[in-house]
Amino acid sequence: MCPVRLVVFGRQGAGKGTQCLRLSERYGVPHVSTGDMLRAAVEAGTPFGMKAKAIMDAGELVPDDVMVGIVDERLGQPDAEPGFLLDGFPRTGDQADALDRLLGERKLLAALNIEVPEEVVIERMLARGRPDDTEDAIRRRLELYVEQTAPLLDHYRGLGLLVEIDGVGTEDEVAGRLRSAIENRLG
């Protein structure tokens, strides 16, 4: 089977984490989340983790060259040979270009964008009732996501890799749409 190499985009609250877990199990490929990797480094208390924590706490981005090094190393591991689900990377245009270069002949199958309208994710997040989830804070995070991500979606659209997935519906419905999109690309 053609390797299932995917980049997954989706706003906070779009159900990306849950769907990545299901896809990872179904296709037997690792879920490579750069946010999770950075949080693990913070937990481990390594010097790198301490630097990363300061950046993450400030809501800034870890420098591109550092992130590219981490992802390059991770995707070179044997479990990523049958494919991978890249989540949280790329986050900038330079990261997207670097990813194209580091993958070389390992072509991506698709870039999936799980699309959920802003009003729906705001409702979902408000329903969780977390103290940092005020409507203003949520709107600001969503705005930043759109600013950061829209150019990346254009990058993958230009490469003919972008597939938009309707993220409104039950978890099973969305999982079914993702599966059909992937099977379609696998041919």
**89 part of the interface to ligand AMP, by CB under 6 A:** yes
Nearest residue to ligand AMP, by Cβ distance, number only = 35
User: Encoding tokens for residue 19?
Assistant: 């769907």
CB 90 within 8 Å of CB 11: no
- Does 102 interact with ligand AMP (rule: CB under 6 A)? no
Is 15 strand, coil or helix?
coil
In the complex, what is the shortest distance from the CB of residue 51 to ligand AMP, in angstroms, rounded to a whole number?
Answer: 11
Percent helix, strand, coil in the chain (nearest 5)? 60, 15, 25
| Mode of pairing for the β-strands spanning 4-10 and 31-33 | unpaired
**Residue choice 25, 26, 28, 35 for contact with ligand AMP (CB under 6 A):** 35
Q: Which residue among 10, 13, 15, 88 contacts ligand AMP (CB under 6 A)?
A: 88
Contact region with ligand AMP (CB under 6 A), list: 21-29, 57-65, 136-144, 170-178: 57-65
Which positions ≥6 away from 102 have C-beta within 8 Å?
Answer: 68, 71, 72, 75
> What residue ranges bind ligand AMP (CB under 6 A)?
34-35, 38, 55-56, 60-62, 67, 88-89, 91, 95
